[in-house]
Amino acid sequence: MQERCATYVSLAWRSPHAPAENTCPIMSPDAELAAHLRAARRVIGAWAVDVVSIERVSVSENIVLRVRDAEGGSHALRLHRPGYHTLRELRSEQWWTAALAGAGVDVPVVAPTRRGEGYAPVALGVGGGEWRYAGLLEWVDGVTLGDAIGAALAAEAPQTAQRSGRELPMPRPAGDPAETGARGNAASVQVFPAIQRAAGTRPPARTAIPAAAATKPAHAAALAHFSSLGEIMAAIHNQASAWPIPPGFARQRLDADGFMGERPFWGRFWESPHLTVKQRRELTALRRLLAVALRKLGKTRQTYGLIHADLHPGNVIVDGERLHVIDFDDAGFGWHAYEFAVALHAHQGRPRFADFLAALVRGYRRVRPVSDAVVAQVPMFLLVRTLASIGWTAARPEHEAGGRTAGLLALVERQVEQARGERAAYITVPAA
């Protein structure tokens, strides 16, 4: 296999023909692990930590290692993906999480280096061909809220708990795509027949996503978890909407241009190398419709601002009564409705999806108001999230295994059919 850094494509990726950066020699999994541990041992000296052991716990968007110290404590050492964020952006992430902690939100506590910095550079790979920024955070034990939701669903019906809400870093296609249908709409843009044929699927019967839904007692635990997630989300938005942005602060903007512009943050999804020519045309048409719809939304403190942008249940750690939010890697300026969509994206197609949405909104409203109009935008942002996933995957070939893009295309098909059936404005051709 190739070492992961050989397949990384920087944020400058804008075309399926763009070359990969940080090319590294071919390495076996064992050699890759050894390289990661060597880099960790080199960089950990930048912190005043009496190290007992270091173990790698995950390799995805970033390389994460657990560092145990002589006092019995543990730390999370993250080696950040090259090219994803500048040092200024990484520092801004830490500024915001510090402000969130000050507002009472349970977020990662940063350990400064011996020099008082938030990050230290480290070379990774043979010959130091790849440089990363390393950051050290407190380690929090526990299970993810996604696992807790999965366990609650498994207690009721094991077959419905194949997915627990865990996601890959950034977008991941739902394992059970949304149940949508094909009720016609003469004003709808007729796209996606090629996607449907390529995926070998037909859209099932349509299900609506109402703003509220009756709950079932058997799912009380899962609904309580979504309600808690809504409370956390609202607390984050409350802090962000009142926080004066400090000088030098820099994070990406997940607005109409950030999602559907010429240089979207997660890549030009409509040019993915995994698409046919016809599929590219279809996604290009859809992109144009969504760009118009997003530009009409406006940006007020009530609906837009700093968001986590990856606040799915897998990014909340449950430690007793403590709910700890992790992974602010994607944090930026965006619409609050997108935050809702991210939290629910992995649960599309579940029989109680509408209940999950209603529980999320109820929890949110206990802390911060949100209008029904914003909640009604969630289906559109579910589609936006799926399209961003296609671009994200194209820029990370190591995540294409198993036909990930084909699954995402099938989900887009279902989401578009649902929007047609509901005569959603964001999927219709503007009147002449």
- The Cα diameter of the chain in Å comes to 71
| Architecture per CATH, 4-139 | 2-Layer Sandwich (3.30)
Tens-place pLDDT, residues 250-287: 999 999 999 999 999 999 999 999 999 999 999 999 99
Contact 13, 395 (CB under 8 A): yes
pLDDT band at 378 (very low <50, low <70, confident <90, very high): very high
Measured distance CA(195)–CA(200) in Å, rounded: 9
The pLDDT > 70 percentage for the chain reads 77
4-139 and 145-427 in the same fold: no
Q: What is the pTM of this model?
A: 0.82
pLDDT band at 429 (very low <50, low <70, confident <90, very high): low
Measured distance CA(222)–CA(8) in Å, rounded: 36
What is the per-residue pLDDT for 401?
75
Q: Which residue has the higher pLDDT, 24 or 232?
A: 232
Tell me the backbone φ, ψ of residue 136, rounded to 5 degrees.
-120, 130
For range 333-360, the mean pLDDT: 95
What is the per-residue pLDDT for 163?
43
What residue spans define the domains of the chain? 4-139, 145-427
Measured distance CA(333)–CA(311) in Å, rounded: 14
Measured distance CA(61)–CA(63) in Å, rounded: 7
> Exposed/middle/buried for 308, CB within 10 Å: 0-12, 13-18, 19+?
buried
Element (H, E) at 322: strand 322-325
Residue 127: both structure tokens together: 């010959």
Measured distance CA(144)–CA(161) in Å, rounded: 15
Measured distance CA(92)–CA(100) in Å, rounded: 12
- Taking CA atoms, 64 is separated from 61, 67, 78, 386, in Å, by 9, 10, 5, 26
Residue 280: both structure tokens together: 């590219």
Measured distance CA(279)–CA(301) in Å, rounded: 37
**Given a cut of 80, is residue 107 above it in pLDDT?**
yes
pLDDT band at 219 (very low <50, low <70, confident <90, very high): confident
Smallest CA-to-CA distance from 106 within 369, 317, 329, 308 is with 317
**Given a cut of 50, is residue 178 above it in pLDDT?**
no
**Given a cut of 90, is residue 203 above it in pLDDT?**
no
What size, in residues, is the chain?
432
Q: Which residue has the higher pLDDT, 130 or 191?
A: 130
Smallest CA-to-CA distance from 22 within 33, 31, 11, 14 is with 11
pLDDT band at 158 (very low <50, low <70, confident <90, very high): low
Smallest CA-to-CA distance from 80 within 27, 130, 128 is with 130
Yes or no: domain 145-427 corresponds to CATH 3.90.1200.10: yes
